[in-house]
Amino acid sequence: MKKMLSVIMIFAFVLSGCSFFGKNDDPKLPPDTAKEEPQQKQDGKKDYVIGLNSPVEGAKEWADRYKPYQGVFMQKKGDYRLLLISQGEMFSEGYKVSVNKVEKQDDKWVVTADIIKPAEEDYAGSSVYPFELMSILDNGKPVEVVKSDESNSEMKLDVIEIPEGKQFAVSKNFIVFSPLEGDKITSPVKIQGKARVFEANFRIVIEDGHNVLAEKVMMSDAGAPAWGNFDVNLPFEKATNPSGSVIFSYENMENGKMIEELMVPVKFNQ
């Protein structure tokens, strides 16, 4: 009887031992020593994201603001920089912007984008806005954008940086890079932007709410339907009010009727 009892106890111990040692293949560790899952990037942030599925809050609204204007726009938003490559407003299907390569080099980012145009334009009567949006982690390195086309030629594009926390003044046919809304200006003031106006002619007026301080008829470097660039240092008279506006407008050449006006509120540095 004692011999049988001893055999049973030994058998039970062996079974429990097998179960115990079996756990050594994948032991449960205390929380402070648990295995770490590999992280995609530091703090779980990706180096970059292509498209509207951006980690930046408000990215779609930001893209909607600037996509009607031809160019490359970039602005820091939190931990990322939003980068928009846009062909502007077009009136035919077949236009497309597609990022095909992103290189994180030692001293900079290089983004290569295909700028595609249709073989033949088919004017459908409605506007299209071919663009690509990117969110690039801000590591302090500059971003270079290179355009490639059907001929496989490449050209570096100018990147227009929007100061953090600011926005460009925009309307249907004007986008103003300088001055920014709320800027303090001194004479002469640097005025820079893009216009899409008939025969490239438009008017700039600086006023302080009481008086016209300066007025100039300008020409951009291209007329509508293209977007033309303009850049001028415009002197103005002493203001009688601490704030005023820089006004961009263009009129009907035949009857002088105002077609469009964009007012940029500014302050005078007196």
Residue 30 belongs to some domain of the structure: no
Residue 148 belongs to some domain of the structure: yes
Instruction: Kindly state whether residues 230 and 151 are assigned to the same domain.
Output: no
Check if the beta carbon of residue 154 is closer than 8 Å to that of residue 148. yes
pLDDT digit of tens for each residue in the chain (270 aa)? 444 444 444 444 434 444 322 333 333 333 333 333 333 555 678 999 999 999 999 999 999 999 999 899 999 999 999 999 999 988 888 899 999 999 999 999 999 999 988 888 877 668 899 999 999 999 999 999 999 866 667 899 999 999 999 999 999 899 999 999 999 999 999 999 999 998 999 999 999 999 999 999 999 999 988 889 999 999 999 999 999 999 999 988 788 888 999 999 999 987
- Which two tokens mark 261? 């006006």
Instruction: Kindly state whether residues 139 and 242 are assigned to the same domain.
Output: no
Containing structural domain, residue 248: 169-268
pLDDT tens for each residue of 38-61: 335 556 789 999 999 999 999 999
Residue 236 belongs to some domain of the structure: yes
Instruction: Kindly state whether residues 248 and 181 are assigned to the same domain.
Output: yes
Instruction: Kindly state whether residues 157 and 173 are assigned to the same domain.
Output: no
Instruction: Kindly state whether residues 78 and 124 are assigned to the same domain.
Output: yes
Kindly report the number of other CB atoms within 10 A of residue 80's CB atom: 22
The model's pTM is: 0.75
Q: What is the phi/psi pair of residue 13, to 5°?
A: -65, -40
Instruction: Kindly state whether residues 100 and 147 are assigned to the same domain.
Output: yes
The number of distinct structural domains making up the chain is: 2
Instruction: Kindly state whether residues 98 and 78 are assigned to the same domain.
Output: yes
Residue 115 belongs to some domain of the structure: yes
Residue 138 belongs to some domain of the structure: yes
pLDDT tens for each residue of 120-167: 887 766 889 999 999 999 999 999 999 986 666 789 999 999 999 999
Kindly report the number of other CB atoms within 10 A of residue 93's CB atom: 14
Check if the beta carbon of residue 113 is closer than 8 Å to that of residue 154. no
Instruction: Kindly state whether residues 78 and 177 are assigned to the same domain.
Output: no
Residue 13 belongs to some domain of the structure: no
